Chain A
Amino acid sequence: MDLNYTAEDVIFRKQVRAWLEQNMPRQIRNLDERKAWHRRLYEAGYLGMGWPKEYGGQGARPMEQAIVADEMARAGAPAPTNSLGVGIVGPTIVVHGTDAQKRRYLRKILTAEEMWCQLYSEPNAGSDLAALRTAAEDKGDHFLVNGQKIWTSGGAIADWGLLLARTDPSVAKHKGISCFLMNMRQPGVDVRPLKQITGSSEFCEVFMTNARVEKDNQIGRLGEGWGIAQTTLGYERGGRALARITTYASQYRQLMDAARRLKRNGRPILDDAVTRQKLGRIWTDLEVERYGALRVLTMLERGEHPGAGGSLTKLSYSEFEKRFMELAEEILGPYGQLTDGVPAEYRLEVDTAVGDHGTWAYAFLWSRAGTIYAGSSEIQKNVIGERILGLPKESRADRVGGTR
């Protein structure tokens, strides 16, 4: 046990820091500028780092990846784009794709020349993803896709989508699902932004009416889609271990500053014993999240996959973020609710992955999403109970029979 960073990692961190100081754009005004920034990061070797070298990555260690993300969070660097492509679609193609698919798609994912989304959730298939109904019908040389997807991140800017669709309604629901790469730029695909409680639209609804998927864009064999989706969910849970903590710590410091300025009963809120206790609890939880991230990184560095342990990580940080933002709102009062006209000292200086909104109100509202997306907290607890603790499965009506 040695929780110091190695000399090698310290040097690498300095290099990244120096590079960011020289290359980081002050401001990103539109998607083209974000794509250009993405491309610069890729060319510097700081994006898609974990990908194997043969597919355009660096074959970098998990710690190096974590350090880059961490330094970007520390510098307040704008996020790159195409995160689902780089984080999920690409690795899925690497593991399950054909050589032709790898040649055709991988490089353009890394360079953000082609933007990707993930077509998984449906109005009636959220936590129960395997209940999805979107159908892909075999037409000989192609499939015809009909159905609706929802909660599609980046759907409006995507050129391609990783699609889960039902190809066999006669078998048990987990077994009749297949995985495809679908061109989003075709007449049969209608993308509509979904306005969220934040007022913004990071997610879309996608309607597919006789949309076409070529045979050579099928991933894996027919009926293997569920297994493929399980591994991609696994990538999504791996996460930005250190960067997340650095962002929280920056928000925490800004909240402390606000608690120094704001007053209650004639005294700074920071002098109030109750508030100090609440801040102390959040700081404790934040530090424990950091220790947990170091444990996860240790596992990844040894080539072990956290597996269902990823559910512990995701459950933990997403629930923490809600508690943290609720305390922030409590301390900031109505300042915490401002979406416009925010006095400079109550702005939140953080570039979120989805865009720089610069308000506590946005961060607060967004914290409600974390315990729902990528497997709700309830689903994570089921996974932990079944796969880590080995508790008996509940009897479920859907484990037998077809979906028709």
Chain B
Amino acid sequence: MNFSFSEDQTLLRSSVRAALDEQCKPAHVRAMMEDTGNGYGESLWGEMAKLGWLGLPFAEEQGGAGLGLVELALVLEEMGRAAYPGPYFASVVLAGLGLQAGGRADQKEKWLPAIASGQARGTAALLEDSLDWDPASTTTTATKTGAGWSLSGVKRFVPWAHVADVALVPARAPEGVSLFLVDPRAAGVTVTPMVGIDLTNRWSEVRLDGATGELVGQAGGAGPVLEGLLRRAAVGASAEMLGAARRCLDMSVGYVKVREQFGQLIGSFQAIRHRCAEMLLEVEKAHSAVYYAAWALGAGAEDATMAASVCKSFVSEAARQVCGDAIQVHGGIGFTWEYDLHLYFKRAKALEPLYGDAAYHRELLIRGQVLHSDK
């Protein structure tokens, strides 16, 4: 039993942090937030490909580094900490891990090396207007048309669809909910921006109107693939939230050590000190939850499904609390656009409802326990 990072994992973390400290400073983040183009930096994207981050969890024969979910979580935590603006999560986690789990050999061969090299960007369209994460709720339809499939329906909150070369799209075929690859630039697909408070992330509505879809795996077989993907996305998003929360904690601790009121450093007041201690406790627990779940999913542990839900339900609320407390501890300055705190606050907020919010995952946990004890 060893709940600590290996030397390689520690090295990976420091190299990711060093690269992002250099190339993803708040000035870069802000420039991308205001960018009227794609909203992410191509040179940093190229650098990430060169450093092997874009193929981190893929097999070596698919151009990947063959690393695990713990390593992926480390990279994502650093991206949350830097409020990295770009399609890393959409491409590597959503499209990459989705294809890795459900794709045919030829589909993996076509897309995974392209994602790993940075030439292609992917995403997944997992939400519809009802916001239900249960794959069974899918209403987008898929009908057979000769050799292919035709998809119709509306997907919402699709991350980085405007720059994606390929999107994983669940749709309801006669055989049941199935997974398809769709080219967001093809005929019959309309991509419309949905602008949220977190400008480091870009969502779109994706309207499918007889769009061409390429079946992934078996028709009617999307359920287990999507459930597995949602668990990985939930833990990945938690890792980003953890990074954002730790950044907020660090900024708060730094601030209360220099800010004076009533002739004293405000960090000497118990009202502030105790809040900072509580923030640290939440961050440390979030760390435990993220890396336990990442390990459990990667190792196929017996409690992996439960650990993913524990992770997302815990971290969603912990990050909200810590990032919110950071604004409170800073006072007025924390409420200004100019100060960087809101970048991380909003990043965490944006991820809170995605891949199941805290309440959704708590219900999954109880349902699992009831099923288990009824056996």
List the interface of chain A (C-beta within 8 A of B). 1-6, 9, 63, 256, 270, 273, 276-277, 279-281, 283-285, 287-288, 291-292, 294-295, 297-299, 301-302, 312, 315-316, 378, 380-382, 384-386, 388-395
Q: Are B274 and A3 in contact (CB under 8 A)?
A: no
Q: Which residue of A lies closest to B369 (CB)?
A: A256
The answer to whether B310 and A284 touch across the interface, beta carbons within 8 angstroms, is yes
Chain B residues near A298 (CB-CB < 8 A): 1-4
- Is A284's CB under 8 angstroms from B362's CB? yes
In the complex, besides A283-B362, A381-B277, A385-B277, 20 extra interface pairs with C-beta distance below 8 angstroms are A1-B3, A3-B295, A256-B369, A270-B370, A276-B362, A276-B366, A285-B314, A287-B307, A291-B285, A291-B289, A294-B288, A298-B2, A315-B281, A381-B274, A389-B253, A389-B276, A392-B267, A392-B268, A394-B273, A395-B264
The reply to whether A381 and B278 form a contact with Cβ atoms under 8 Å apart is yes
Decide if B253 touches A283 in the complex (CB within 8 Å). no
Is there an interface contact between A385 and B362, defined as CB atoms closer than 8 Å? no
Q: Contact at B288–A288, with CB atoms within 8 Å?
A: yes
Query: Chain B 364-375 against A: per-residue CB contact (8 Å), 1 yes, 0 no?
Result: 011001100100
Q: Which residues of A contact B306 (CB under 8 A)?
A: 287
Q: Cβ of B3 and Cβ of A3 under 8 Å apart?
A: yes
B287-302 interface bits toward A, Cβ cutoff 8 Å, 1 = contact, 0 = none: 0110110011001010
Closest Cβ neighbor of A278 among chain B residues: B362
- Residue of chain B at shortest CB distance from A304: B4
Bound complex: CA of A6 vs CA of B4, how far in Å? Answer: 15
Can you give 19 A-B contacts (C-beta < 8 A)?
Answer: A1-B2, A1-B295, A5-B1, A280-B361, A292-B284, A294-B292, A295-B3, A295-B4, A298-B1, A316-B285, A381-B274, A381-B278, A385-B274, A385-B277, A389-B253, A389-B276, A391-B276, A392-B264, A392-B265
Closest 6 CB pairs of A and B: A280-B362, A385-B273, A291-B288, A384-B277, A381-B277, A391-B267
B267 touches A382 (CB 8 A): no
Task: List which B346-367 residues lie within 8 A (CB) of chain A.
Answer: 359, 361-363, 365-366
Say yes or no for B25: interface residue by CB 8 A criterion. Answer: no
Closest residue of B by beta carbon distance from A283 = B365
Chain B residue contacts of A315, Cβ below 8 A: 277, 281
What residues of chain A lie closer than 8 Å to B373, measured between beta carbons?
256
Say yes or no: A280-B273 contact (C-beta < 8 A), given A63-B1, A388-B280.
Answer: no
- CB B292 to nearest CB in A, in angstroms, measures 4
In whole Å, how far is B70's beta carbon from the nearest beta carbon of chain A?
A: 5
Q: Say whether B285 contacts A288, CB under 8 Å.
A: yes
Q: How far is the CB of A6 from chain B (nearest CB, A)?
A: 7
Q: Which chain B residues lie closer than 8 Å to A6 at the CB level?
A: 1
Enumerate chain A residues within 8 angstroms of B43, measured Cβ to Cβ.
Answer: none
* Contact (Cβ within 8 A) B307 A393: no
Which B residues are in CB contact (< 8 Å) with A284? 309-310, 313-314, 361-362, 365
Task: Assess the B366–A385 pair: CB atoms within 8 A.
Answer: no
A84 to B366, CA, bound (A): 39
A222 to chain B, nearest CB (A): 33
Given A291, A299, A389, which contacts B277 in the complex, CB threshold below 8 Å? Answer: A389
A residues less than 8 Å from B301 (CB atoms):
3-4
Distance of A244 from chain B, by nearest CB (Å) = 15
Contact B310 A287 (CB under 8 A): yes
Q: In the complex the two chains form, is A316's CB within 8 Å of B276's CB?
A: no
**Residues of chain A within 8 A of B273, CB atoms compared:** 381-382, 385-386, 389, 391, 394
Assess whether A391 is in contact with B362, with CB atoms less than 8 Å apart. no
CB contacts (< 8 Å) of A1 on chain B: these are 2-6, 9, 70, 291, 295
